[in-house]
């Protein structure tokens, strides 16, 4: 009785079910990706999956192309989203809470519906579905994820620093470049994570936006898993995981990662 009670009373133990759950559904599955990636169909150790990737120009090209599309989309989102976040965060523009809400509202609508709506718009305007449509569609889809974290950090920024810089004689351009921009970097960093990661890993979205003409890396992974090529699919997933790990490290270096906050 006593033992049972301390086991239960000790509140630290209340996390035990979740810790077990995390081990089974988060840690083991990731280890499984690694194991499958380095195994052949008979569960023997091999590097063949990675060799196959390297020797397969189509797979490598898709990979490089996807990285290119993801970088383009992310840059476009920064260029379009930063000014918007800045304007929204300044009181002088008197942007209401409702306007801010309008910018984050699309985040709550199913991504497939958003994508199909974009396809419908391009159809309506007679825009050909291709690379341009792909990047535009991705920007449509992910722009709110760039605006929101930047807006959040700019909102929390200590505005007296800007006033101080002004009082000390800095012109508007250098106030922005040397005070506002550096202070908003954490938001930009988490915006990059929130835009780059989904763009590099989407599947389905690219197919829908280009009528199956352009394939991104995510689609390659999905196709291989669907066709029973689990080991090769796992190897491709591991490659993507590494790329994302590197991006994460770089962007958390330039500003402290999560601070901007996910909604």
Partner 1 sequence: MNRKQAATFLGKAYLWVLLLMLYSPILIIMVFSFTEAKVLGNWTGFSTKLYASLFSGDMHRSLTNAIWNSLVIALGAATVSTGLGSLAAIGLFNMRPRARQTVRFINTIPILNPDIITGVSLFLLFVSLGISQGYTTVVLAHITFCTPYVVLSVLPRLRQMNPNLYEAALDLGATPFQALRKVIIPEIRPGVISGFILAFTLSVDDFAVTVFTIGNEGIETLSTYIYADARKGGLTPELRPLSTIIFATVLLLLIIVNIRSARTGKKRQDG
Query: 116 to 155, contacts with partner 1 by CB under 8 A?
Result: 116-121, 123-124, 140, 143-144
Q: Does 75 bind partner 1 (CB under 8 A)?
A: no
CA distance 107 to 121: 18
Binds partner 1 (CB under 8 A): choice among 112, 161, 164, 181: 112
- Binders of partner 1 among residues 3 to 42 (CB under 8 A) are 5, 8-19, 21-22, 24-30, 32-33, 36
DSSP assignment, residue 203?
Answer: -
Q: Using the rule CB under 8 A, is 246 a contact of partner 1? A: no
Question: Applying CB under 8 A, which of residues 187, 218, 255, 260 lies at the interface with partner 1?
Answer: 218
CA distance 40 to 37: 8
Nearest alpha-carbon partner for 236 in 31, 71, 49: 49
Instruction: Determine if 106 is a binding residue for partner 1 (CB under 8 A).
Output: yes
Q: In angstroms, what is the minimal distance from the CB of 162 to partner 1?
A: 15
CA distances from 52 to 57, 130, 159 (A): 9, 28, 54
- Closer to partner 1 by CB, 121 or 162: give it: 121
Only one of the segments 79-87, 149-157, 159-167, 179-187 lies at the binding site for partner 1 (rule: CB under 8 A); that segment is 79-87
Core vs surface per residue 175-195: b (16+ CB within 10 A) or e: bbeebbeebbbbbbbbbbbbb
Least separation in angstroms between CB 39 and partner 1: 11
Residue with tokens 């389905």: 204
């Amino acid at each position: 009785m006593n033992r049972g009670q301390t086991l239960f009373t000790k509140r630290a133990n209340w996390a035990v079910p979740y810790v077990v759950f995390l081990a089974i559904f988060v840690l083991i599955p990731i280890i499984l990706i690694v194991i499958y990636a380095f195994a052949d169909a008979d569960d023997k150790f091999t590097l063949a999956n990675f060799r196959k990737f390297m020797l397969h120009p189509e797979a490598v090209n898709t990979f490089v192309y996807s990285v290119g599309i993801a970088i383009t989309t992310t840059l476009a989102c920064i260029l379009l989203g930063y000014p918007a976040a800045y304007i929204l965060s300044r009181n002088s523009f008197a942007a209401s809470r409702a306007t801010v809400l309008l910018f984050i509202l699309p985040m709550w609508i199913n991504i497939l519906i958003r994508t199909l709506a974009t396809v419908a718009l391009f159809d309506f305007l007679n825009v050909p579905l291709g690379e341009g449509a792909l990047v535009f569609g991705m920007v449509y889809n992910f722009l709110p994820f760039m605006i929101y974290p930047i807006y959040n950090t700019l909102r929390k920024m200590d505005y007296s620093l800007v006033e101080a810089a002004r009082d000390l004689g800095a012109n508007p351009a250098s106030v922005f470049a040397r005070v506002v921009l550096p202070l908003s970097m954490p938001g930009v960093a988490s915006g990059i994570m929130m835009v780059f990661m989904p763009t590099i890993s989407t599947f389905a979205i690219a197919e829908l936006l280009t009528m199956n003409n352009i394939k991104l890396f995510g689609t390659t992974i999905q196709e291989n898993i669907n066709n029973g090529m689990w080991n090769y699919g796992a190897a491709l997933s591991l490659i993507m995981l590494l790329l994302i790990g590197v991006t994460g490290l770089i962007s958390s270096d330039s500003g402290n990662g999560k601070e901007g906050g996910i909604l």
